[in-house]
């Protein structure tokens, strides 16, 4: 798969963080290619560079060297406002701590990305209803986050991440703050969305429950790829499901 | 846009205790300005009306020569055909009355002691018709038709220094229009307290015919015009212009504000004090609000990072913070307007009085006027203060590095 065919292409990316008079290497010349409709986990111990890699793919951080392409676009050449537009239109984010806007209801939180895109009111309402339906939270649409359980909040976060039909959903440790039951349900939900909507999910985790359901696992150690395990069957299933 | 406004409004009430404290601070500033400004406005109005009713009148008409040269003899720049001039202006709208006056000076004596006086000769009926009554500390006002004695009012300072009381006599001496010295005996019928100590020490008032006899002239210094409302002064002055042209003497007129030097000085001084107070309130609101908004920004760092990650344009973040601050300013102004007006009503009902200010000899009532222009000005000022205060936190929030903001604890 070349750079233009891939959804995400990471080429020789290094990210250094200055610390006193030295620099910490979070990613060290890492290269990775991710196709459309993949369900990919980035695993590894703490400090291995999982979150840094997600931040770079999500265009919320810049590599010290190397390039990242999203749908063939070299993100290093984009201006800050172009990067902002790319994030707005192509990427959905799910955070470990949910990061919902506390003064908005579940529906309003889901609506927010559409609002930023300037989508009309009637279209927004239709798509919010659809997204909440996709995550099974239609009945909780008008509840504020503080009235939702952890699992429900993360479902709202997923609905918010998918409502604008992004090319890519990035999830940073999405099950870290959930109990086993909610974590399992969330994994099933993400997998289901990956199957039914053909959405590409990239998430960082060291949660074994999540890894068991993941067809492709990229394992990082000290900012480098230690292993990249792909289950071809699973990927083929996803592609078939999305085509159908 | 509506959603954005909703978000800003809800964010304002996110931390209710802090919002209440901010609203109290902003409202306190507005209420303080309303109370001080309302009291100053009352003071200005009181001073204006007392200045006018103490004899200044709303408009004074003079012989134009009066302001071109100094008098060689008393009344040689006076108005000669003053009855004709008075009848010309008396028929104008809003005119309550026209009173002829003679301003003169001379010596007064009780037979033992002499003192300088500043005299004013009036037509008592014309003065009373315009409510220009002297403030009597004892006795009564002048009567137009007296029983043969020349009646006089003297200031409290004159009465004290000359050791006289109501019913006592004094001799007054003045130079006539021909330059000769003339004198008449007067009987004191009243003691006047003008409210101004320096004036009370020199004050003498007699009737117009008595002064004309003393000064040997049928002229008057000026005509004082009283109106129904002070606010009509400009309109009436404009209406007078054609009525004062084509007369045997060239006439000129002065509005009360042109002659009220003391009023203007007091107003300038207190306006300066009020401006200084306004600047202090402005900076207090500004600094306290910057602190509050910076705290709010710090607390919402991760949320702002999330919004930026989702592609929210950075100018939206600036606009959101400024909108929140503006909403806080509007609510604070509303709190201040309600609070300030209620406190003003309570103070007005309490009947408070202040000690006499320097130069005055009577207590001053403490009242607060409800001035719409002041309410608009104070409210606008705090809203602008809040909007300005939000610029620093808003710009800081918009410049957050997304990855760092998302990792903020």
Please write the tens of the pLDDT for every residue from B351-391: 888 887 665 667 778 899 999 999 999 999 999 999 999 99
Averaged pLDDT of chain A: 88
pTM of the model: 0.77
| CA-only gyration radius of chain B, Å | 31
How many alpha carbons lie under 13 Å from residue A200 in its C-beta half-sphere?
20
Say if CB B137 and CB B160 are below 8 A apart: no
Helical H segments across B300-313, by residue range = 301-309
Mean pLDDT value across residues A110-119: 92
The boundaries of the domain holding residue A101 are: 37-50+80-243
Beta strands, E only, B219-366: 222-227, 251-255, 353-354, 364-365
pLDDT at B224 over 60: yes
Token pair for residue B299? 């607390």
Cβ distance of A116 and B310 shorter than 8 Å: yes
Q: Quick check: is A145 in a domain?
A: yes
Q: Which residues contact B170 (CB under 8 A, 6 or more apart)?
A: B108, B109, B110, B152, B154, B162, B164, B185, B186, B188
pLDDT tens-digit map of B289-311:
888 888 888 999 999 999 999 99
> Which A residues 60-119 touch B at CB under 8 Å?
60-61, 80-81, 84-89, 93, 95, 97, 99, 101-104, 108, 111-113, 115-117
Averaged pLDDT of chain B: 90
d(CA B27, CA B33): 10
Residues of A in contact with B10 (CB under 8 A): 103-104
Residues of B in contact with A112 (CB under 8 A): 307, 310
For residue B288, what pLDDT is reported? 85
The nearest alpha carbon in chain B to A160 belongs to: B310
Higher local confidence (pLDDT), B258 or A180? B258
Q: Which residues contact A112 (CB under 8 A, 6 or more apart)?
A: A101, A104, A160, B307, B310
Q: Which residues contact B335 (CB under 8 A, 6 or more apart)?
A: B23, B24, B26, B27, B30
- Whether chain A has a CB inside 8 Å of the CB on B67: the answer is no
For residue A16, what pLDDT is reported? 93
Domain coordinates of chain B in residue numbers? 2-51+263-406, 80-248
pLDDT tens-digit map of A36-57:
999 999 999 988 999 999 999 9
Q: Quick check: is A186 in a domain?
A: yes
> Which secondary-structure segment (H or E) carries B187?
strand B181-192
Sign of the CA dihedral running B265, B48, B375, B28: positive
Q: Quick check: is A8 in a domain?
A: no
d(CA A232, CA A226): 19
Domain count, chain A: 1
d(CA A105, CA B266): 58
d(CA B97, CA B225): 6
pLDDT at A120 over 70: yes
Q: Name the residue with tokens 């000085």.
A: B265
Say if CB A198 and CB A166 are below 8 A apart: no
**Nearest by CB: A99 against B10, B303, B401:** B303
CATH number where A199 lies: 3.40.50.300
pLDDT tens-digit map of B172-183:
999 998 888 999
For residue B150, the cross-strand partners are B186
Pairing state between β B181-192 and B150-155: parallel
pLDDT at B54 over 80: no
């Amino acid at each position: 798969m070349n750079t233009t065919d891939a959804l995400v292409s990471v080429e020789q990316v290094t990210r250094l963080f200055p610390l006193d008079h030295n620099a910490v290497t979070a990613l060290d010349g890492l290269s990775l290619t991710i196709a459309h409709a993949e369900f990919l986990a980035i695993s590894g111990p703490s400090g291995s560079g999982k979150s840094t890699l997600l931040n770079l793919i999500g265009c919320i951080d810049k590599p010290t060297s190397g390039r990242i392409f999203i749908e063939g676009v070299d993100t290093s050449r984009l201006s800050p406002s172009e990067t902002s537009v790319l994030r707005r239109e192509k990427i959905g984010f799910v955070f470990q701590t949910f990061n919902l806007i506390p003064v908005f209801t579940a529906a309003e939180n889901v609506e927010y990305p559409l609002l930023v895109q300037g989508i009309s009111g009637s279209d927004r309402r239709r798509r919010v209803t659809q997204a909440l339906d996709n995550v099974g939270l239609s009945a909780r649409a008008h509840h504020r986050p503080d009235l939702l359980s952890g699992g429900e909040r993360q479902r709202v976060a997923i609905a918010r991440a998918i409502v604008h039909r992004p090319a890519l959903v990035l999830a940073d440790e999405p099950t870290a703050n959930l109990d086993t039951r909610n974590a399992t349900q969330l994994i099933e939900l993400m997998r289901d969305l990956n199957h039914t909507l053909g959405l590409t999910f990239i998430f960082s985790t060291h949660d074994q429950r999540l890894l068991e359901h993941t067809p492709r696992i990229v394992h990082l150690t000290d900012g480098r790829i230690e292993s990249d395990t792909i289950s071809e069957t699973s990927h083929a299933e996803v592609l078939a499901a999305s085509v159908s | 846009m509506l959603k954005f406004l909703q978000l800003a409004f809800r964010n304002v009430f996110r931390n209710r205790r802090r919002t209440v404290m901010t609203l109290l601070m902003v409202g306190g500033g507005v209420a303080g300005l309303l109370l001080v400004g309302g009291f100053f406005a009352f003071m200005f109005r009181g001073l204006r009306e007392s200045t006018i009713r103490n004899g200044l009148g709303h408009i004074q008409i003079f012989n134009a020569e009066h302001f071109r040269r100094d008098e060689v003899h008393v009344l040689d720049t006076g108005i000669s055909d003053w009855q004709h001039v008075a009848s010309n202006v008396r028929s104008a709208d809003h005119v309550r009355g026209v009173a002829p006056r003679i301003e003169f000076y001379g010596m007064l004596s009780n037979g033992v002691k002499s003192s300088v006086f500043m005299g004013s000769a009036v037509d008592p009926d014309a003065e009373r018709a315009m409510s220009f009554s002297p403030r009597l500390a004892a006795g009564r006002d002048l009567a137009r038709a007296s029983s043969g004695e020349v009646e006089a009012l003297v200031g409290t300072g004159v009465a004290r220094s000359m050791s006289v009381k109501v019913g006592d006599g004094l001799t007054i001496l003045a130079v006539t229009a021909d330059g000769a010295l003339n004198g008449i005996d007067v009987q004191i019928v009243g003691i006047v307290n003008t409210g101004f100590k320096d004036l009370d020490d020199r004050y003498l008032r007699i009737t117009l015919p008595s002064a004309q006899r003393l000064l040997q002239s049928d002229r008057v210094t000026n005509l004082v015009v009283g109106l129904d409302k002070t606010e009509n002064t400009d309109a009436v002055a404009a209406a007078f212009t054609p009525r004062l042209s084509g007369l045997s003497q060239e006439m000129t007129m002065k509005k009360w504000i042109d002659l009220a030097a003391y009023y203007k000085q007091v107003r300038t001084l207190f306006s300066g004090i009020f401006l200084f107070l306004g600047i202090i309130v402005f900076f207090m609101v500004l600094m306290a609000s910057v602190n509050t908004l910076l705290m709010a920004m710090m607390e919402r760092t991760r949320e702002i990072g999330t919004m930026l990650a989702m592609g929210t344009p950075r100018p939206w973040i600036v606009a959101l913070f400024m909108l929140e601050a503006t909403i806080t300013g509007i609510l604070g102004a509303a709190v201040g307007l309600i609070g300030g007006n209620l406190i003003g009503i309570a103070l007005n009902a309490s009947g408070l009085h202040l000690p006499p200010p320097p130069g005055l000899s009577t207590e001053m009532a403490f009242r607060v006027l409800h001035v719409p222009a002041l309410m608009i000005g104070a409210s606008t000022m705090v809203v602008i203060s809040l909007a300005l205060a939000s610029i620093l936190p808003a710009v800081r929030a918009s410049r957050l590095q997304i990855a760092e903001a998302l990792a903020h604890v």
